[in-house]
Structure 1
Amino acid sequence: MTNPILEADLLVSGAELITMNARREVIRDGAIAVRGNSIVAVGKREALERSVRARTTRDASGFVLTPGFHDGHIHITGDPLTRGFVRRVPDQSWNDNLSKWVIPLFKAQTPADEALAAKLSALAMIRFGTTSFMEAGTVIHLEAVMEGLAESGIRGRVGRWVEGRTYDPAADPAIRTGEAIELLQSEVEAFPDDGETLLAAWPVLVGHSTNSDEVWLAAKALADANGLKLSAHMSPRASDPEWFLANYGRRPVEHLADIGALGPNVCLTHLADTDMAEVELLAATGTSAIHCPHAAFLGGFGLARKGLHPEMMAKGVPLMLGTDGMAASILSSARLMAAAYRDARDDQDLLPATRLLELMTVDGAKVMGWEGRTGALIPGAKADFVLHDTRTPEWGGPLFDSVGQLALSAPPSAVHSVWIDGRQVLEAGRNLLLDEEKLLADAVQAGEAIVARTGLPIRTPWPVL
């Protein structure tokens, strides 16, 4: 008795597959079959070529094929159009730099600017193998951003800029809180998440000390009722713990646990200034942590001295990586995390290559609530996958250990082709859906106009003649 032939739209064969399945199998001379937006078969090339009849075939000899990567925290507006603009003033505090330089740049953007920035961000993420992301909660013009992202074909969850705490003694805090809660409700209704859509809105808070308890609880209730995730910034520096201690008498994670705002559908980004009691609360409540190595280590958060992300993972806290918009390559972020924490702990075996690949794939899927749907090459998962070209000097010749070579040696730019939801979006490093030249030209004009609207001075560290 012969097995029935499996019908497929695409068969990619001949690659070395890093499956990230439960057994973490690596399949040499492997193949993957896709029908619609899902993976329908994974195995050895010879077996699938016998058992699958595909409308299109692709020879992937010389490539490593992996699941698409996840970016858990990225500002897709603001930064992409003004990245070269010097915003930091060394003699000002971090909060002053944020309020007087960074935030004005975000607030000066028009809907067209934010749509353009979103497309640029998607272009960069896809180019480095990221197929799914969670936005950082600093979008102002959500409708325009969603339209821009839809052109790129990327998978993402996005939220408006939501605060909800007033600092003006004369203002009515109930009004500000009510406006924030209404904003959260409206975005979730406008862009619902049915589990299948590529783009949807989640309740993403600015976090820090900007959200009242009522806003935290309303966001948590929305996430609970709609099967969503709640994400927010927290404790990149000592200023957040200091504020919570001064106002509530307890540290941020302790306070959020006390009011009932933590849980398996809550993600807190940064958590650089955290103590072990807070780590225990994260583990006990199932709350996830999102670590952004570039923001932390380049921003001088002090992680080498006090960071507890390895301890979080040891305690079972779900953790994924984010670029924070400071880097497009999540692979580079993973390497930075490993290098910094290995040095800080004097432990060269900490965060091995296998762990880095997990953080970018299956762990990211788990934190996003997509376990079994993204992050692994398994039948039934979404067809989000990447072909990495191994024919570069950095791969080092033969594939002795593709996991180690990819995680520690391969150039991020070796991403050759990308599929998201069964649709190819990148080929030979070129985006198939976005006009790269026009986007980059438009970005130059838009960035100059944004800075001009803020009235902020353009500064350079060295004289420009």
Structure 2
Amino acid sequence: MSTLIENVYLAPVVGPEIESGYIRIEGDRIAELGAGPAPDAPGATRTDGGGCLATPGLVNTHHHLYQWASQGLAQDATLFEWLVALYEVWAAMDAEVVKGAATAGLGWLALSGCTTSSDHHYLFPKGRGDLLAAEIEAAREVGLRFHPARGSMDLGKSKGGLPPDVVVEELDDILAATAEAVDAYHDPSFSSMLRVAVAPCSPFSASAELMTESAALARAKGVRLHTHIAETLDEDEHCRERFGLRPVDYMEKLGWLGPDVWFAHAVHLSDADIGKLAATGTGSAHCPSSNGRLGAGIARVSEMLRRGANVGLGVDGAASSELTPMAGELRQALLFQRARYGPDALSARRALELATLGGARNLGREAELGSLEPGKLADLVLWPVRGPFTAAVADPVCALVFGPAPPPTLVLVGGRAVVSDGELRTISQDEAGNAGVAAHRRLTRLARERGVAVDGGSAH
């Protein structure tokens, strides 16, 4: 299969931008790109990219897809208040809820230019079906590259943790299930559509033993490590009281710093913390909309970048980032940094890099994804930036990042169209959206059957 995209503005992320050029795709990879008219390519499918900006596909490095079914709850809560309100709701989820929520969530991501998404699923209520398999099947149907992070919690309230005991697992069960997930699903190949990470939830829901054993398991299997860290001041206080250490120092003690690790959020970091992340190659997923929604704070992204720490972007779960498109996080990241540090804190092009190459580095796939270069996978997006209104912004990258991102004209994953003309093509767009509505209704019903009252603003 050969595809030729021509007459397009190229923002490769690596290398100079090209005002009018072409991209030739052979199979699932970029064969060449350059300036000027496209070369002859007999038999190729030709796409006119006139009026469009071509970028690498966006990489979402932190998500909780199941939360699509629980949006709009605990609207004015802090993180810990929000978790306490929602744990009991989530305890009612089953594989049908997860499949519907993941289908809608991944479809929504695709429609905003995302081609690769991780997902941190850390609740596995007993007897509710194979939740990990359900979201993996949803990703296969939607057609995105998928990095499910098999999460876990073993520290319930009875052991001093935050979550209720009903949603935690035993250590041996967690390690066995995680190893099975890696063995069953992880594909380390260059063109992989599916890779698995190991991901205990957080310092306030996972024991030190679970954290250390999970790190050993991941490194024995050759997969990556992921967890939440330093999201709120409450967490910082919890770590000081319980462990006598701040969160990053605690992670260092447990062997959780290194180039195979990326943290979610990393909002409340000291100068020393940032230095440790940079020195060890530890990445982070910045989730500006969720951090703002929960009042968690603004991550020191510009300082992290200045000191050489890698940062990607994440949408985070829809229950703390309702209906947030992946493309919208570029703008949020830029505005949050400038609001805190000034207008030179983050540029449009650096924001694009966070959402593409920064994300690819978090997932260990910078050789395959994150920039438009010959030999890399043909995961790319065409954004219409020369319409009747958007053409008023002369710089197409500025138009994409500074304003609300337009629906993409084309989203390719490995050269295959997942979105074209603003519509999902792999599955029915209406069916994907309706699956999310059905998941919400089912989860609400199941929670109420458990005696949990669920309404528009709270769950108790």
Match of residue 227 from structure 1: 222
Question: Shift of residue 88 of structure 1?
Answer: 4.2
Q: Are residues 1:313 and 2:305 paired?
A: yes
**What RMSD, in angstroms, separates the aligned Cα atoms of the two structures?**
2.3
Match of residue 67 from structure 1: 56
- Matches for 1:287-366 after TM superposition, within 5 Å: 287-303=282-298, 307-325=299-317, 326=321, 327-345=323-341, 347-366=342-361
Give, as a single letter, the amino acid of the residue that structure 1 aligns with 2:396. S
Q: Is the alpha carbon distance of 1:69 and 1:139 closer, same or farther for their aligned partners in structure 2, counting shifts above 3 Å?
A: farther
Match of residue 35 from structure 2: 44
Structure 1 distance, partners of 2:244, 2:89, is 34
Structure 1 distance, partners of 2:79, 2:220, is 36
Q: Are residues 1:187 and 2:172 paired?
A: no
The answer (yes or no) to whether the contact 1:127–1:413 under 8 Å persists in 2 is: no
Q: Are residues 1:148 and 2:135 paired?
A: no
The answer (yes or no) to whether the contact 1:231–1:268 under 8 Å persists in 2 is: yes
Match of residue 87 from structure 1: 74
Structure 2 distance, partners of 1:107, 1:412, is 35
Structure 2 distance, partners of 1:118, 1:448, is 14
Give, as a single letter, the amino acid of the residue that structure 1 aligns with 2:443. I
Question: Shift of residue 263 of structure 1?
Answer: 0.6
Match of residue 251 from structure 1: 246
Structure 1 distance, partners of 2:379, 2:123, is 25
Q: Are residues 1:372 and 2:361 paired?
A: no
Q: Is the alpha carbon distance of 1:459 and 1:334 closer, same or farther for their aligned partners in structure 2, counting shifts above 3 Å?
A: same
Structure 1 distance, partners of 2:53, 2:79, is 42
1:294-327, Cα deviation, whole Å (9 max, x unpaired)? 0112211133xxx422222222111111111314
Which SS does the other structure have where 2:65 is aligned? coil
Match of residue 440 from structure 1: 433
Which SS does the other structure have where 1:49 is aligned? coil
Match of residue 429 from structure 1: 422
Q: Is the alpha carbon distance of 1:20 and 1:169 closer, same or farther for their aligned partners in structure 2, counting shifts above 3 Å?
A: closer
Structure 2 distance, partners of 1:384, 1:45, is 22
1:182-231, Cα deviation, whole Å (9 max, x unpaired)? 22212111112223320232112212322222222232223323332211
- Matches for 1:151-230 after TM superposition, within 5 Å: 151-168=141-158, 176-195=170-189, 196-230=191-225
Give, as a single letter, the amino acid of the residue that structure 2 aligns with 1:27. I
Structure 2 distance, partners of 1:458, 1:216, is 33
Give, as a single letter, the amino acid of the residue that structure 2 aligns with 1:40. A
Structure 1 distance, partners of 2:29, 2:456, is 49
Match of residue 12 from structure 1: 5
The answer (yes or no) to whether the contact 1:202–1:230 under 8 Å persists in 2 is: yes
Structure 2 distance, partners of 1:33, 1:313, is 32
The answer (yes or no) to whether the contact 1:63–1:389 under 8 Å persists in 2 is: yes
Equivalent in 119, 124, 132 of residue 135 of structure 1: 119
The answer (yes or no) to whether the contact 2:114–2:327 under 8 Å persists in 1 is: no
Q: Is the alpha carbon distance of 1:293 and 1:393 closer, same or farther for their aligned partners in structure 2, counting shifts above 3 Å?
A: farther
Q: Is the alpha carbon distance of 1:412 and 1:322 closer, same or farther for their aligned partners in structure 2, counting shifts above 3 Å?
A: same
TM-score, structure 1 normalization = 0.88
Question: Shift of residue 181 of structure 1?
Answer: 1.8
Task: Choose 130-139 or 232-241, whichever is displaced more.
Answer: 130-139
Q: Is the alpha carbon distance of 1:203 and 1:169 closer, same or farther for their aligned partners in structure 2, counting shifts above 3 Å?
A: closer
Question: Shift of residue 444 of structure 1?
Answer: 2.7
Structure 2 distance, partners of 1:131, 1:144, is 19
Task: Choose 125-134 or 319-328, whichever is displaced more.
Answer: 319-328
The answer (yes or no) to whether the contact 1:332–1:412 under 8 Å persists in 2 is: yes
1:166-194, Cα deviation, whole Å (9 max, x unpaired)? 543599xxx93222222221211111222
Structure 1 vs Structure 2: percent identity of aligned residues?
25
Q: Is the alpha carbon distance of 1:129 and 1:433 closer, same or farther for their aligned partners in structure 2, counting shifts above 3 Å?
A: same
TM-score, structure 2 normalization = 0.89
Q: Are residues 1:109 and 2:93 paired?
A: yes
The answer (yes or no) to whether the contact 2:203–2:239 under 8 Å persists in 1 is: no
The answer (yes or no) to whether the contact 2:310–2:361 under 8 Å persists in 1 is: yes
Unaligned runs of 5+ in 1: 1-7
Equivalent pairs counted in the alignment come to 437
The answer (yes or no) to whether the contact 1:128–1:328 under 8 Å persists in 2 is: no
Which SS does the other structure have where 1:338 is aligned? helix
Q: Are residues 1:386 and 2:381 paired?
A: yes
Match of residue 280 from structure 1: 275
Structure 2 distance, partners of 1:312, 1:442, is 39
Give, as a single letter, the amino acid of the residue that structure 2 aligns with 1:406. L
The answer (yes or no) to whether the contact 1:263–1:287 under 8 Å persists in 2 is: yes
Q: Is the alpha carbon distance of 1:64 and 1:88 closer, same or farther for their aligned partners in structure 2, counting shifts above 3 Å?
A: closer
Structure 2 distance, partners of 1:145, 1:94, is 25
Q: Is the alpha carbon distance of 1:169 and 1:123 closer, same or farther for their aligned partners in structure 2, counting shifts above 3 Å?
A: closer
- Structure of larger gyration radius: 1
The structure with higher relative contact order (CA 8 Å, sep 6+) is 2
Give, as a single letter, the amino acid of the residue that structure 2 aligns with 1:122. L
Match of residue 26 from structure 1: 17
Which SS does the other structure have where 2:376 is aligned? coil
Match of residue 417 from structure 1: 410
